[in-house]
Amino acid sequence: MTKQSKVIIVTGATSGIGRATAIAAVEKGHQVMLAARHEDQLEQLSNVLNAKHANSAAYQVTDVSKKTDLIRLVEKTLDKFDRIDVLDNNAGIMKFGSLSTTSSNDWDAMIDINIKGVLYGIEAVLPVMHTQGYGQIVTTDSTAGHQVGQNNSVYSATKFAIQAIMTGLRLEESPNHIRSMMVSPAFTDTGFFNEKDSEPFKQVKRLEPKNVAEAVLYAIDQPSNVDINEIILHPTY
């Protein structure tokens, strides 16, 4: 690892944007703590990354809807890497459907992961970053956090909430040299949708996860006096 390398926690690291971000981060010389729910997938990705770049990756099984899991994730990261430069709150879910066809169980799941999961991560990592005197918190938002679409009102509500949380975090923590950034992609080919869900969107242009990952790494790699607050991404074809 180089002097410029950073220690980055990535939640939702085994698929989609999280996986692409972890791979891109290691390719740029950073070290990553991979966090997701499935240990077999975490181990596989960690082995792949470490085979290419020794000691670049570790993992911790994590359910972001559980506060204790985020506390343990931060502790394990410090045990392994001695510091935390970046927390990438990437884990998220979408339950597609109208308010009449989805249920409170669907809404609770989105709120628990998309909102509470982000807050639990912030709560767990802020004391570490205060002690260090620096840090960066990145959260995957969405263009749905700017405009509500049909059949995704609750998902959109969780992403509007992220706008408020991350804006407030920036206002509160920038004096402490803690940077806050959102990446807000439009439709991205992440596996969020099953075939039934995808039917209305088969002709919709989509980003690739690596496109979003490159935007995240661009923000992470900025000088410490530069805080990119949000990057909004749309596909062109």
Catalytic sites, residue numbers:
155
Give the strand pairing for 135-140 and 178-185: parallel
- Residue 28, Ramachandran bin (φ over 0: left; ψ between -120 and 50: alpha; else beta): alpha
The contacts of residue 30 (CB under 8 Å, 6+ apart) are 1, 5, 6, 7, 8, 56, 220
Element (H, E) at 183: strand 178-185
In the DSSP assignment, the letter for residue 3 is: T
For residue 26, the SS3 value is helix
Q: Find the angle CA(5)-CA(8)-CA(10) to the nearest 5 degrees.
A: 150
- As a whole number of angstroms, the distance between CA 113 and CA 161 comes to 12
